[in-house]
Structure 1
Amino acid sequence: MDIRGELRDQPLRVGISTRSLFDLEAEHEVFVQDGVAAYVELQREREDVLVEKGSGFKVVEKLLGMNEDDNQPYVEVILLSKNSPDLSLRAFNSIKEYGLNIKHGSFTSGRTLAPFIQSWGIDLFLSNDTVDVQAVVTAGTAAARLGSPPEVEQSKDLDDEVRLAFDGDAVVFSPESDMIFKEKGLHAFFEHEKMNAKKPMSVGPFGGGFLKKLSKLREIHLDEHGVSKVRIGIVTARNAPAHERVVHTLRAWGTPADEAHFVGTNSKAPILQAMDAHIFFDDQEKHVRGAAPVVPSGHVPGPHSPDEPVIPAN
């Protein structure tokens, strides 16, 4: 079976909550302040009102655009919601209006979505719910908590690329190198990385099934010049000499990146804005907060304090 057949047989599956796909913050505020009954009444009143796009909308739209045949897709998107089935009508009405090929979903009336991730065969879960995201990551599936849509509109919205940017350690790669720094300090970290430069790192939460399928999608869309419509970028606080292990690891995995930015102590936000990424994933909340005004950003729960410095740079 060729790579197209492989991905059609086992598509890249993205599970996304309604609050990540759509901007439902006003409705959520009613739920928090006035309760379930008022929320249900509001949603029914707005059943035929188009919902505005949320943080995860653009990357979902772009990934679905990589399908060559909607009946044999490379990418499938599953709508996952804690709303009741009754309130699914507004969500699917908006999906139809936007022209998204999303046909499947689960609506749980307030119950956690985490148990349904494996049932659907999800490779990436995007949600605004911290508890659900943590449970999914702990179970071994790529997941991130999204916030509000960025303040800055993307400048290349009309092109046919999809651009995904990832932090390295504790996102694509395991946090094992973090531990060297935390336990033994900066000098030991750099010595360890130099000694192990050609030894592939272990996979992190995004380095397993999700990245492998994304890399297959990238390969399918390579043109005759070796340029793909699926662009994968690494934006990491590593700098030389610790950068070398990143390159050798991705090479060994067979999951090449189109861009790698070794920013050290510099801000990631300007790089992400220049890349015009459709989404960015990082395990440190300070980087997510810094990037969120210019790019949809997802926090990946990690093994350390959200703002604790990891993977040092000099």
Structure 2
Amino acid sequence: MTDSSSDGMSFSHKKLIVAISSRALFNLDESHAVFEKDGVEAYCRYQIQHEDIPLETGVAFSLVRKLLALNERDPENPRVEVILLSRNSADTGLRIFNSIKHHGLNISRAAFTRGASTHPYISAFGAQLFLSAEANDVRKTLEAGFAAATILPSASAAVSEVDPSQLRIAFDGDAVLFSDESERIYKQDGLEAFESNETLAAKQPLPGGPFKNFLALLHQLQLEFPADTAPIRTALITARGAPAHERVIRTLRAWNIRIDEAFFLRGKDKGEFLKAFRADIFFDDHQKHCESARQHVATGHVPHGVANE
């Protein structure tokens, strides 16, 4: 699933479907604290008692709003759909649906599992990306071959909308867009061995990672607009540097996928670059990089590859 196509053009008429948990979409900290302190029954009573009080927006709310806004350009041919996957029950989920309506989000499909894992329904809905605050659900989704990330709590500045007219998504490279095979060499044998391998294999495209297909779908959406006015902008922000950059560039070229901006930082901290790029969300497999990133932008940890074993 993660590497089903070597050519982004094969996605030309496929709708982008994103599944999101209620805790990623809305701020459920207050009600979750009730659950942690007093248990599930108290939580259910609390949500029902407050079901007419809209929830505040969560870390991924801006991302979802911008994704849905892409449909406004051609309402008769929507290219993006957002699905709600929630561990709430239908009873407690009513507050979430009321909040969706209050905030004007066009989300009509949902699954409420009353505490059970939501990951089995990713495939049933045909989603290509899952964002959740439940790390176990995210891991199982990745294991099933779908792009997924654990949404991390961020500073208030991270969820402010810096550019309402353009969706900006940033990705790490190894173990996110690409496989972790090169990173394994770095972990086992060090930087010199890693760079030697990447130099020797510079013209061999890297295998795809869990977010390759998601990037390909974003690229297909971008192709529907002139490059200078596209409502989506992407960036690769990687710890790689020269000479390991060449293989990355040739890999994206072989996939026929455009990345708008690329940063080869050779270990330099990513946070300030993400802030300068004004990312709506950043995906990385390293907890350390995610901790830096979430000080500036909404961040999704991808628990995949050698860094998470």
Q: TM-score, normalised by structure 2?
A: 0.92
| Aligned position for 2:185 | 180
- 1:97 is matched with which residue? 102
2:156 counterpart letter in structure 1: E
Matched, 1:159 2:164: yes
- Matched ranges for 1:1-314 at <5 A: 10-67=14-71, 68-152=73-157, 157-207=162-212, 209-223=213-227, 226-306=228-308
Shift of 1:158: 4.8
1:198 positional shift: 2.0
Cα displacement (A) at 1:153? 5.0
> Contact 2:88–2:114 (CA<8 Å) still a contact in 1?
yes
Stretches of 4+ moved more than 4 A in 1? 153-156
Distance 1:145 1:236 in 2: 19
Tell me the alpha carbon deviations over residues 216-262 of structure 1, each in whole angstroms, 9 at most, x when there is no partner.
11111335xx4522111000000111111111111111111001011
- Give the alignment's Cα RMSD to 1 decimal: 2.0
Greater shift, 42-51 or 123-132, is seen at: 42-51
In 1, are the aligned partners of 2:66 and 2:164 still within 8 Å (CA)? no
SS at match of 1:152: helix
Contact 1:14–1:77 at 8 Å: present in 2 too? Answer: yes
Distance of 2:34 and 2:104 partners within structure 1: 28
The sequence identity of aligned pairs, in percent, is: 45
- State the SS of the aligned residue for 2:234: strand
Which ranges in structure 1 are unaligned for 5 or more consecutive residues? 309-314
**Structure 1 contact 70–101 (Cα < 8 Å) conserved:** no
CA contact (8 A) 1:66 1:75 kept: yes
Q: Amino acid of the residue matched to residue 300 of structure 1?
A: V
- The answer on whether the counterparts of 1:154 and 1:276 sit within 8 Å (CA) in structure 2 is no
Instruction: Tell me the TM-score normalized by structure 1.
Output: 0.91
Q: Structure 2: how far apart are the matches of 1:57 and 1:156?
A: 10
- Distance verdict in 2 for CA 1:156–1:40, change over 3 Å: closer
Distance in 1 of aligned mates of 2:233 and 2:224: 12
Distance 2:272 2:129 in 1: 26
Letter in 1 for 2:195: F
Structure 1: how far apart are the matches of 2:267 and 2:46?
46
Q: Aligned partner of 2:243: which letter?
A: P
Q: CA deviation at 1:157?
A: 3.1
Q: Distance in 1 between matches of 2:297 and 2:99?
A: 23
SS at match of 1:66: helix
* Separation (CA, whole Å) in 2 of partners of 1:146 and 1:300: 9
